[in-house]
Structure formats: C-alpha cells, structure tokens
Amino acid sequence: MNEDNSPRNEKANKFLLIDNYSQSSQTDRIDRIEEIIKDCEVKGEVKSIHFTQLKPELVKGCAGIILSGSELNVSEFYFNEKLKRKFKTQLDLINNNYQIPILAICFGFHLVAYAHGAQVSRMRIPELGGRIIFILIKKTDELINQKNIPVNAHHLDYVLPNDSNIQRNFEILCVSRTFGYNIVQYMKHIDKPIYALQFHPETHYLQNFPPISTDERITNKTRMIGQEIIENFIRVCSYNKK
C-alpha cells in the first residue's frame, strides 16, 4: 500500500494505555482495551503501564494515550493529599499535552475535569456498578456517530454540566439524568485533542458482565458501541499522526 494513502507507520502505531487501577484491583477492563486496539483494522501496538510508572519520556512518539478507569476516586483528592500526589504526573500530562490525542475513561474523565479546575463530586447513592443506561448524544462526531446509545455506567464520582471550568474548556456533547443527578457523560476539549467519557466503552467480556439487562441484544449492542468508540479513537490518532 502506498505510504501516502495509509495512516500506518511506526510512530502512528504506538498507543500508551495508563492503568489507573490499584495493583490489588481485579478487573478485565485493561485486557479488554488492549484486545480492542490489537483487533482494530488500523493496527496499533499498545503499551500498558501502571500509573505509578508514568514518566514524561514514555509519551514521546505515541499516536494516542488512554487514561483508564479505576476503583479509586478523584473526589478524594480534596481531603487526601497523598492520593492526589500519586496522580501528579498524570495531571501534568493532561495540562501540558496539546498534540497527542487522549481518551479519558471514567476515573480518567475525572482526572481531566480536575486538571482543568472543575469540581468532581460524589453521588450519595448505593454503588452504581455495571449498569446499562441509555444516553442521548447532543451532536455526533468522529468518536460517536449515533445519537441514542446504551452505555456501561460504573461510577459514583461525577461532574456537573454547569461547572464554569467545564463550560470554559470543553464542548459538552452529552448530559444524562441519572438517579436524580445531571451528569456530563461525554465532553471534548475546545483546544486540545482530549475526549473524555464518563461511561465505560470497554464493556466487560460477556462472561464477566453483570446480568443487569435480561435483553441480550441490549448487552451486545452496548459492547459493540463501546468497541466502536475505542476503534474510532484509534483512527483519529492514526490520521492525526499522519
């Protein structure tokens, strides 16, 4: 294939996945992201590192960066300085990166919001674990090309759409009304190539997915749409690098 007609080259194929789960956490979400990237038609090499291993030099030459979810909570940063310090390098990366596309998922979404001065709050409800909810996209774009989609929500931290720092820095593309809370579900930075998702596109493997929905079609559609979102991000990164 002619080099001019393909987004593939050595540099464009490198993706950095930052694992924000504690080392004692058991999750298949990191594996799932790796699998989606490896199976994407725009082939890419993915390097996964734990957040404690992040160094600025690891970002060089990357076509894209993914900030994973976590069982930890950014809302604790306000009273837990020790926890906040653990993510200083990642917060600096978010603030200082203007070229490499970033896909921020759930906890990563909250890191992005916090880094831009937004308030990350905590819902006062029982654990919102692995639920499928339907959200309405205000405007489709290069990542999400459907307006009414089911997504996997698993969080208690959230960001309000009327936060002045969010409105100043981001285009808010989706807000949901979930358990009485107005929650930003998808936002895109106005100047930087940062895409932030409150929900989890890397829906669990089927054998690990909680049996919340009795409709297998909805469960499968949730996984399919999530996979497409990550694949679309890989395409954006590849063409951006080209």
**Residue 206 binned pLDDT confidence (cut-offs 50, 70, 90):** low
pLDDT at position 211 over 90: no
pLDDT number for residue 3 = 42
Q: Which residue has the tokens 């991000």?
A: 233
* Average pLDDT rounded to a whole number, residues 123-135: 80
Among 110, 211, 208, 203, residue whose Cα is nearest residue 149? 203
pLDDT number for residue 4 = 43
All structural domains of the chain with their residue ranges:
3-241
Q: Which residue has the tokens 């906040």?
A: 84
> Mean pLDDT of all residues in the chain?
89
- Let me know: does 105 contact 142? Beta carbons within 8 Å: no
Q: Which residue has the tokens 């310090």?
A: 85
| 91 vs 89: CA distance, rounded Å | 5
Largest CA distance in the chain: 55
The CATH classification of domain 3-241, taken from the options 1.20.140.10, 3.40.50.300, 3.20.20.80, 3.40.50.880: 3.40.50.880
pLDDT at position 124 over 60: yes
pLDDT at position 70 over 60: yes
pLDDT digits (tens, 9 = 90+) for 29-57: 999 999 999 999 887 899 999 999 999 99
| 83 vs 114: CA distance, rounded Å | 14
| 106 vs 235: CA distance, rounded Å | 21
pLDDT number for residue 157 = 96
pLDDT digits (tens, 9 = 90+) for 147-197: 999 999 989 999 999 999 999 999 999 999 988 899 999 999 999 999 999
- Let me know: does 122 contact 98? Beta carbons within 8 Å: no
Q: Which residue has the tokens 């906890």?
A: 107
